[in-house]
Amino acid sequence: MLVACWSAKGGSGTTVVAATLALQLARHDANGAVLADLAGDAPAVLGVPEPASPGLAGWLSAGADVPADALARIEVEAAPGLGLLPRGPGALDPGRAGVLAALLDRSPRAAVVDCGRVGDPVVAAVVARARQSLLVTRPCYVALRRASQSPLRPTGIVVVNEPGRVLSADDISGVVDAPVVATVEVDPAVARLVDAGLLAGRLPRSLSPLRDVA
Ligand SMILES: Nc1ncnc2c1ncn2[C@@H]1O[C@H](COP(=O)(O)OP(=O)(O)OP(=O)(O)O)[C@@H](O)[C@H]1O
Ligand SMILES: [Mg+2]
């Protein structure tokens, strides 16, 4: 099962949502889960030392002769039951993005991909093959307008809600033309844990609306 998380505007909370979904799946699925990081911030958010491996960028640019176990070789353990495929340095070569998506989708473990912001062809290929394509957004009209103009279609929307915003779930659904599947309130405890790289150790209750999303 492949779940792609993406945003139309930076700083929406995509990495936090993707990491949370992956941590929840890892806890509740006997097979564990994997988080594939196309955006590059997952090690920092999960408190994993920046891996020295070539990462997904290296795997994507290695061509079709790459050994069958090459993905497993770049994986690091981020939490009990949760493997992390770090982004690694360099550009993302779109040539084998479809192969990557198919491998993640066919894996016995649930795979969550932190796609970051839309616009990269690798992200488009991964989102196109995902069982769930989750737009992560603040209730912000500028971000929603960009999402509605994007060629990527979400199957669901995760709203990271800030105090004082006036757009309702119905408004958001209407602009993007997809259902709101979860709303997470902005919580200073989340920001503190992210800044300290401690999210993997303790998921605050404010993130529990994500439990049934993936
Ligand atoms: N639920 C939340 N409550 C409080 N702060 C949050 C929450 N989700 C994310 N943040 C904070 O917002 C900032 C951006 O979050 P995050 O890195 O997940 O966004 P992003 O969409 O992945 O950003 P980028 O576009 O740079 O990849 C971080 O400082 C993070 O700590
Ligand atoms: Mg991010």
Instruction: With beta carbons less than 8 A apart as the criterion, state whether 30 and 201 touch.
Output: no
The whole-number pLDDT of residue 192 equals 96
- How many other C-beta atoms are found inside a 10 Å radius of the C-beta of residue 170? 9
> Ligand 1 test: best mutation among 38, 120, 194, most atoms within 8 Å of CB?
194
Does the CB atom of residue 15 touch ligand 1 within 6 A? yes
The whole-number pLDDT of residue 214 equals 84
* Cα distance between residue 88 and residue 38, in whole Å: 9
The whole-number pLDDT of residue 52 equals 87
Which residues on adjacent β-strands are paired with residue 119? Answer: none
The whole-number pLDDT of residue 50 equals 86
* Cα distance between residue 43 and residue 13, in whole Å: 15
* Cα distance between residue 195 and residue 183, in whole Å: 22
Nearest residue CA, atom 28 of ligand 1? Answer: 191
Please give the distance, rounded to the nearest whole angstrom, from the Cα atom of residue 195 to the centre of ligand 1.
Answer: 10
Nearest residue CA, atom 13 of ligand 1? Answer: 11
Domains of the chain: 2-210 (3.40.50.300)
Q: At what angle do helices 97-106 and 121-129 cross, to 10 degrees?
A: 30
Which residues on adjacent β-strands are paired with residue 148? Answer: none
Alpha helices, DSSP H, located in 139-200:
141-149, 169-176, 188-195
Q: In the chain, which stretches have pLDDT less than 50?
A: none
pTM of structure:
0.97
The whole-number pLDDT of residue 102 equals 95
* Cα distance between residue 152 and residue 123, in whole Å: 9
The whole-number pLDDT of residue 63 equals 87
The whole-number pLDDT of residue 65 equals 85
